Chains A and B, each alone.
Chain A
Amino acid sequence: MTATIGWLGVAIAFVLALAGTAAPAALSGRDAARSFRLGAIAIGGQLVLVTAAVLALVWALVTADFSLQYVAQNTSLRTSLYYRVTGLWAALEGSLLLWEWMVVALAGVVAWQYRARHPELMPWVLAVFSGVSAFFLGVLAFAASPFDRLWPIPPDGRGLNPLLEDADMFTHPPLLYAGFVGLTVPYAFAMAALVTARLDDGWIATIRKWTIAAWLFLTLGNLFGGWWSYHVLGWGGYWAWDPVENAAFLPWLPATALLHSIQIQERRGMLKVWNLSLIIVAFALTIFGTFLTRSGVLSSVHAFSSGPVGGLFLGFLGLVLLGSFALVALRADRLRAQPELDSLLSRESTFLLNNVVLGAVTFTVLLGTIFPLIAEAVTGVKLSVGAPYFSRVTVPLFLALLLLMGIGPLIAWRKASLDNLRRNFLWPAGLSLLAGIVLAASGVRETWPLLALVMSAFVLLTIVIDVVRAVRARRALAGEGPVAALATLLRRNQRRYGGFVVHLGVVLIVIGITGSMNFSREREATLAPGESVALGRFTLRFEEFRVTERPTHARVEAALRVFNDRHDLGLLSPALKFFPTQQSPIGRAVLRAGWKEDLYVILSGFSDVRAGQATVKVLLRPLVSWIWIGGGVLVAGAALALWPFRRRLREA
């Protein structure tokens, strides 16, 4: 019954999606209002049907209905309610359904919000949404259905993949999908503008906040992925430049570039073709990412199931890339007549440079990711591209971005005068150089970390000095106190200060990455009860093993008492988890987070529970916490930029 409801929902929605895609073309754009109504009905119908399908699958998961293959493979009778619900995205089929649900939900919001605006564009916007939705529904109905039945019905299911059994199952995957799906909005508007040849700037302002929101979700999705990897996978790292990680990171790069270059188009009417290209590339990279993770064409530490879906995604990717850019090529004549750059020393040119650098990062990461394929196609040689390539190539580019991040927001539009430069950059440059000298004197001698920290200081100082000046001016002008003046500034100029706060978050993340990547220390030791291992200011004394039974697995914990200059800081208990369905145990690392450094402990093995020797790996990773704090600051900044202050004023 559940399976029938789900499958029918998906199949009927697929038909509706096809109709919705064809609607404006079938009406040949004569009657835009009618076309919009048809499109909106199609979207609304898909939303209802897909919601029913999602609820059917969640119901089947929660009630452990093992007559569905998907349920039997991703949940078991021992699985707790939390992981039954999150089982919706524990494997390919359910993830696609969640993704599709997000697409139609977003389409519904867009259709509702712009029902009275962009009358020529909206029919096509909805058609593009229906088209994207049709692709996913087609895959869900015919290639990777979560509603396939299983016979005979097994008494119990296989259960959730043990690595997914973590609280972050609720954050990382949905956030990442939300980011991917969010990039459909700019893409749909861009396609609509190209098809209708209405390339005036109205739609660019509309997609800006959608792009910020999508960008925010992408950023959070990646950060939560890093956090998950850091505290679950037990290797002490948060990013490994693995193909699947790159796939999640790649759309973020053109989306970031777009956020900046949109401002130039809004302000100066420049870079229209460039912005369209960024939108298409960002959207195509979300499809590319799914293709990469689900096709099995590249070897990755992330073992995802693959199947016929890879080929379908490749076909869709080809359609999106070639079709969209062909449209750009055909419309390029209308995108001309743009003003030229006035000067190299201007905000336009720094933003442009930021885009060029982000484009270069996108290209190098993409090249590194698919290089094994290119190499094998051309020379027949198997090889893999690892972290050293990515670090060496991208670190200088990221540092260039950091520098531009300091300059961009403060340099004048059109042409910066010497006075403008001196006023804004003399103090930050001087002070950050001073900070560099102090750092070098205190022992930070390697070039790249030193540069990263100096530039972080530079960006921080430009922001601080600019805000202090603005607050002072406001106080002189309106006689407000410092806090009230700051609040007024944030509200009145939320885009600018939202951007500053986001930049602040990025600087914190850079500091965290710099610290943890360059100044980590580690030690491995095999300890009998009572023996200790010391690293940095910490001493860890191994006390005993504890064996506990959890609903889904057995756990062996090594209790280690941590001392810091003879203060007892309590117990840390890294564990090995033994799942009956897995041949090898899964580690559970523990960490003691701190402002300065994290103490990270991994239980690598034990001789025998009775003989009682534990082999532990202890890591000191400086400044990692600042990555997560920076993430929080970044959310606050994006929220500030998006918060509807204006509308409230208007309504009041």
Chain B
Amino acid sequence: MAWKRLLLVFGIGAPLIAVLAFGFTRDPREIASPLIGRQAPPFDVRLADGRALALADLRGRVVFLNFWASWCPPCRAEARALEASWRRHREQEVVFLGVNMQDREDAAREFLREFGITYANGLDGGNRIAIDYGVWGIPETFILDRTGRITYKHVGALGGETIHAKLEEALRGEVSRLEGKGEYRSIR
């Protein structure tokens, strides 16, 4: 009789402990973006050179959309890789678009000058675009395919190889199920 009761105790207790232990394999604060595979939220933005740009105008090309700020160390870390990737892919049907957020305009311009950025950069003063995209830490990068669908999201700094691979996927219209993460985390 005693062993039956023991079995009952372990039958209830062990799974409970197992579920709690399972928690260690998960980060409850990390929530996958619901935007992946969906149409990117549309926006208009004022560019650093004074022109206006609407996302809708970029339909038909792959868009590399990067949220950044001048004060953010990982943004500095990836800046040169981004510019190099832009030069490598600019002949293809690819557009790079930076979106500066939570920043002062003069500091943002200084950053663009410092790294010799040649692709278009928008100034998202009220962080409206960032909110639409659910940006919670910078840098964050979205890649959109020709139809305006988000195929990849990356949190943290990017390297040239990943950019190349993900742009190729987007050109083929493939959606990455998983989010990418830089080893340089911007938020503790």
Contacts and interface: CB of A to CB of B under 8 A. Distances in A.
Given A333-B1, A372-B28, A314 B17 contact: yes
B72 interface: no
Given A299-B28, A322-B13, A329 B20 contact: no
Contact of B17 (A298, A317, A330, A377): A317
Contacts of A311: 24
B81 to A, nearest CB: 28
**Range class of the A interface residue count:** 20 to 34
A332 interface: yes
Contact of B2 (A296, A322, A332): A332
B31 interface: yes
A118 interface: no
Interface string A313-334: 0100110011001101110110
Contacts of A295: 23-24
B153 to A, nearest CB: 16
Contacts of B21: 314
B20 A291 contact: yes
A329 B16 CA distance: 18
Contacts of B5: 329-330, 332
A109 B1 CA distance: 39
Contact of B6 (A298, A314, A318, A329): A329
A238 to B, nearest CB: 24
B9 interface: yes
A298 B13 contact: no
A487 B9 CA distance: 49
B26 interface: yes
A322 B14 contact: yes
Contact of A382 (B19, B24, B31): B31
Given A311-B24, A332-B2, A376-B26, A325 B19 contact: no
A298 B14 CA distance: 19
B165 interface: no
A374 B19 contact: yes
B22 A322 contact: no
B29 interface: yes
Contacts of A310: 24
Contact of B20 (A296, A325, A370): A370
A370 B26 CA distance: 13
Interface string A535-563: 00000000000000000000000000000
A310 B26 CA distance: 13
Nearest to B23: A297
B14 to A, nearest CB: 7
Contacts of B9: 322, 325-326, 328-329
Contacts of B52: none
B119 interface: no
B20 A373 contact: yes
B23 A373 contact: yes
Contacts of B22: 373, 376-377
Contacts of B2: 329-330, 332-333
Interface in A7-33: none
B126 to A, nearest CB: 15
Given A295-B23, A297-B24, A310-B24, A329 B8 contact: yes
B45 to A, nearest CB: 25
Contacts of B26: 297, 373, 376
A328 B2 CA distance: 10
A326 B29 contact: no
Nearest to B1: A333
A197 B154 CA distance: 61
Most buried by B among A299, A322, A333, A374: A322
Interface string B1-45: 110011011100110110111111011110110000000000000
B133 to A, nearest CB: 19
A84 B78 CA distance: 42
B19 A318 contact: no
A325 B62 CA distance: 61
A341 B85 CA distance: 80
A382 B19 CA distance: 14
A48 B53 CA distance: 72
Given A297-B28, A332-B2, A322 B10 contact: yes
Contacts of A318: 13, 17
Contact of B28 (A296, A322, A374, A377): A296
B70 to A, nearest CB: 17
Contacts of B17: 314, 317-318, 321-322
Contacts of B31: 382
Contacts of A382: 28, 31-32
Contacts of A322: 9-10, 13-14, 17
Contacts of B13: 318, 321-322, 325
A297 B26 CA distance: 7
A325 B21 CA distance: 20
A314 B29 contact: no
B96 to A, nearest CB: 30
Contacts of A374: 19
A317 B17 CA distance: 8
Contacts of A296: 27-28
A311 B13 CA distance: 16
A221 to B, nearest CB: 23
Contacts of A373: 19-20, 22-23, 26
A298 B22 CA distance: 11
Interface string A284-302: 0000000100011111000
Nearest to A291: B20
Nearest to B27: A296
A333 B1 CA distance: 9
B141 to A, nearest CB: 22
Nearest to A384: B28
Contacts of A321: 13, 16-17
Contacts of B32: 382
B20 to A, nearest CB: 6
Nearest to B4: A329
Nearest to A317: B17
A333 B4 CA distance: 13
A332 B8 CA distance: 13
Nearest to B18: A377
Contact of A370 (B1, B19, B24, B29): B19
Interface string A357-389: 000000000000010111011000010000000
A311 B31 CA distance: 23
Nearest to A331: B2
Interface in A255-313: 291, 295-299, 310-311
Interface of A: 291, 295-299, 310-311, 314, 317-318, 321-322, 325-326, 328-330, 332-333, 370, 372-374, 376-377, 382
Given A297-B28, A373-B19, A382-B31, 10 more contacts: A297-B26, A318-B13, A321-B13, A321-B17, A322-B14, A372-B28, A373-B20, A373-B26, A377-B22, A382-B32
25 contacts: A295-B23, A297-B20, A297-B26, A297-B28, A298-B23, A299-B29, A310-B24, A314-B17, A314-B21, A317-B17, A317-B20, A325-B9, A326-B9, A326-B10, A329-B2, A329-B6, A329-B8, A330-B5, A330-B6, A333-B1, A373-B20, A373-B26, A376-B26, A377-B22, A382-B28
Counting from the closest, the 6 A-B pairs by CB-CB distance are: A297-B23, A329-B5, A299-B28, A325-B9, A318-B17, A322-B13
